Amino acid sequence: MKNRLGRAGWAGLILAVGFTLAGCANAVEEESREERSQVSEDSLETEVVSEVPGSAGGEDQREVVTIGTFREDYNLTELVKSFNQESGQYRAEIKVYYGPEERQQPDGYEGAATAMDLDIVSGNSQDILVIDLWEAKNFASMGAIENLFPYFEESRNISSDDIIDAVVQANTFDDALVSINPYFSLATIYGSSEEFDGEGWTLEEMAEYAQGHPDQALFHGETQVSTLYTALWFMKDGFIDEETGKCNFDTEEFREFLKIVKKFDKKGGGSELHEPEAIQSGKALLSKMVLNTFKDIQVQYEIFQGSPALVGYPTADGRLSCEMVTGSVYAISSKSAQKEGAWAFLEYMLLNPRDDSYGFPVLKSCFDQRAEEAVEVTYVTDANGNQKEIVMGVTRTTLPDGWSIEYHTPRQEEVDLIRKLVEIAEPKDPDFLPVLDIIHEESAAFFDGAKTVEDTAKIIQNRVQLYLDEKKE
């Protein structure tokens, strides 16, 4: 439970317990996308508002909702400020476990992670927890966090049906909605439409494709380890039968895959170039990219000269796949004494997302609104009376090797492609991660030449089966 990485996305205003509704039904003014640096712990702890709802004679009478997060985050600070300005009943406060003081300690990271974990499992945590998705599911299995489905059912402002399906799926564990993320991203694999039809592929087809291009890397800078994870993340159904609890790794298919992976550079060949140049120069074949805005897909159009094709991660049945990336998620502690206030904060966060630089909003109506607004062209008239298109947000990206892209207002076909990705998006299965770790550990000896592929496959088969058997007990 020590890998506390991830981002938090944030939102604007809602109708809840004395709030003013200014949500997705209103037009969202798109802001320029800019770099947002981390703020100091001092600024995180200082939530001073000159005049706030609920104050009497300068003294804040509102009930306090506490938020526990591992790292400082500018976006969380801004969200809390907005919440505290709008809420008449609640005031939010942030506790950062790994702040400037902890970073100065030799064991600061581990100590902070342990402290946060102990607080959560002991019931001494804050009302709201900002954690990773896999952590949310781990803590849910311990009974440490709330099921959010009943909160959605009782809400007059928002239903779980209003949330994008893949987001609900990602945050559901044992039929309970254990957390929620305010924004999401989309990750998948792209190739040239000259070689792919956009219908997905299997692991066998990926292996055949790699064998047909022996002098080129599948991915820019791909190592043996990263190839393992990239190729197998959505292959759980191909190797593990959930009903019987049996695995199937001692196969010719898997052995051939390991042989192909062995050919990749351990340190990531081709990493001296950026991905666009590596692909356009023929050193790499496929592109992996995370989409956070409707404009991001334009990078793939530029890389593949106007003809990108969805390839997706390999799947057992060859279906087209896309990963739903949640980033940090929000959970309510089961021991919270302020659960109503915690839920009011989550409503506030979900119903009014800020600009699209944080990712796609999870509320269906907000996503649809953003999609419609994305294709709207804005013009400005110059001194000569000529109209010029104005591109909102980031207008250009230039890489150190000279490759660059000029963004345009998203076209309908680009937005439709992102809609397609949302429809097929699914989260990675955190239960498969221990299996991938076993594969990584045991394949190292084969990659180093210390074991045969046959022995490696047998060892992986035995270890994974033992893991599955222990899980059933």
Identify the CATH class of 185-324+428-472: alpha beta
Fold of 41-181+326-362: D-Maltodextrin-Binding Protein; domain 2 (3.40.190)
Residue 82 in contact with residue 12, Cβ under 8 Å? yes
CA-based radius of gyration for the chain: 24
CA distance 325 to 288: 13
H helices of 130-247, in order, are: 133-141, 149-154, 165-170, 203-211, 224-232, 236-239
The bridge status of strand 425-426 relative to strand 322-325 is parallel
The pLDDT value recorded for residue 57 is: 55
DSSP classification of residue 28: P
- Largest Cα–Cα separation, the chain: 77
Take residue 379 and report the two structure tokens written for it. Answer: 């013009």
pLDDT for the residue numbered 9: 31
With b meaning 16 or more CB within 10 Å and e meaning fewer, what string describes 13-36? bbbbbebeeebbeeebebeebeee
Fold match between domain 41-181+326-362 and domain 185-324+428-472: yes
Residue 244: both structure tokens together: 């019987």
Question: What pLDDT, on the 0 to 100 scale, is given for residue 282?
Answer: 87
**pLDDT < 70: residue spans in the chain:** 1-58, 265-271, 355-357
Which residues share a beta bridge with 184?
360
> What per-residue confidence (pLDDT) applies to 402?
80
Domain regions of the chain by residue span: 41-181+326-362, 185-324+428-472
What is the predicted pLDDT for the residue at 24?
56
